[in-house]
Structure 1
Amino acid sequence: MGRIAGRFTRVEPRRRAREFVLGLLSDLPRKNCWTLAEHAGDATPYGLQHLLSRAKWDADEVRDDLRSFAIEQLHDEEAALAVDEMRLATLVRVAGRRWTVEETFQAAKGLAGLDEHQVRRWTSWHRWVTLAMLAHGFLAAASAHERDHHPAPGELILLTCNEIQHPFVALTTTARPAAHHHGWSVWRRRHQARSRACHYQRQAAHQRRRS
């Protein structure tokens, strides 16, 4: 959040934006201003609604900061974020060649509430999408950094955005030590790797029988 802090002229909207992004990164089953406000400890959703509709900050500047962050962290000059205003359709391209547009779009919807907005005005929608992509950009950059600097051993799947979100949520909401959450992450990734290997073996056996 320090990267975009200067885009907010006052402390209050800056704090609200941080709460908003942390809520989007949480494991809430549904994400809207009501649930995000409750997650932040607010008594009403009015503060977050004000952030989306009337607070003074420029979503386009935050989007540009996000694009620069993606280029730096993903080491890809083609990294971009594009929001298509036609029929409020969203086209997301955060990781350039590293991930496809469709995969990134689906991941942003599932992990950061990209499509769970309940707003009626362009400004509120545009700001929601920008902050959702900021949340997903954090997960994508953290995942890429871990894969580049700490490659997974053969018995584990690669560290995904979804797996990054698990320990992040746990570390910000529980008092258990980081080693506990890391151990569960390793267990899940090993289990998923074994399941994938078994699936590929069954596919190969099926193909051999057909041929």
Structure 2
Amino acid sequence: MEEAFEFGKDLFGLDQAQVRLYEAILRHTVLVMAAPAVCAVGAAEARHRTDSQAPSPTRPDQPPPAEPGMIPLTVAEIKRLFNAAAPRTPSLEHIAHWSAWRRRHQARARWFHRRARLATAYTQLS
């Protein structure tokens, strides 16, 4: 529960209200709590369509895949994409390019992390 509030404060500005009336605080809290809910539902719906990661490594000396794929859309990435739809962004193509790059990079990092964990497990067994 504490992680959820920290996530809401960091990513959605839960603690950035400058209001004094109870009704205003209530409105702000409801809107800020609705935003991560919408993003979480969007990420859950898009998970099976956007997950294109390479299979996990099976041995520690396995070479990396040529194309690591991309991790599924996360709540934070959905928020970035929603923000990209605002008229103040440079271009949607630019935002989509960086979103794909970031997700591909995270998939590559995840693959190497799993391979390193396999290497650690193999050395501990020996």
Structure 2 residue aligned with 1:199: 113
**Aligned match for 2:71, one of 136, 157, 166:** 157
Whole-angstrom distance in 2 between the partners of 1:197 and 1:207: 15
Whole-angstrom distance in 1 between the partners of 2:3 and 2:116: 25
Structure 2 residue aligned with 1:83: none
The one-letter code sitting in structure 2 at the alignment partner of 1:133 is M
TM-score (norm 1): 0.44
- Aligned-residue Cα RMSD (Å) equals 2.3
**Aligned match for 2:34, one of 129, 134, 149:** 134
Listed as ranges, the matches of 1:1-211 within 5 Å are 101-119=1-19, 121-148=21-48, 150-154=49-53, 155-172=69-86, 173-176=88-91, 178-211=92-125
The one-letter code sitting in structure 1 at the alignment partner of 2:89 is T
Structure 2 residue aligned with 1:70: none
Higher relative contact order (CA 8 A, sep 6+): 2
5+ residue gaps, structure 2, are: 54-68
Distance 1:210 1:117, change over 3 A: farther
The one-letter code sitting in structure 1 at the alignment partner of 2:6 is Q
Structure 2 residue aligned with 1:46: none
Matched residue count: 109
The one-letter code sitting in structure 1 at the alignment partner of 2:13 is G
The one-letter code sitting in structure 1 at the alignment partner of 2:116 is R
Whole-angstrom distance in 2 between the partners of 1:132 and 1:114: 6
1:141 CA displacement: 2.4
1:167 CA displacement: 2.4
The percentage of counterpart residues that share the same residue type is 37
The one-letter code sitting in structure 2 at the alignment partner of 1:146 is A
The one-letter code sitting in structure 1 at the alignment partner of 2:50 is P
Structure 2 residue aligned with 1:3: none
5+ residue gaps, structure 1, are: 1-100
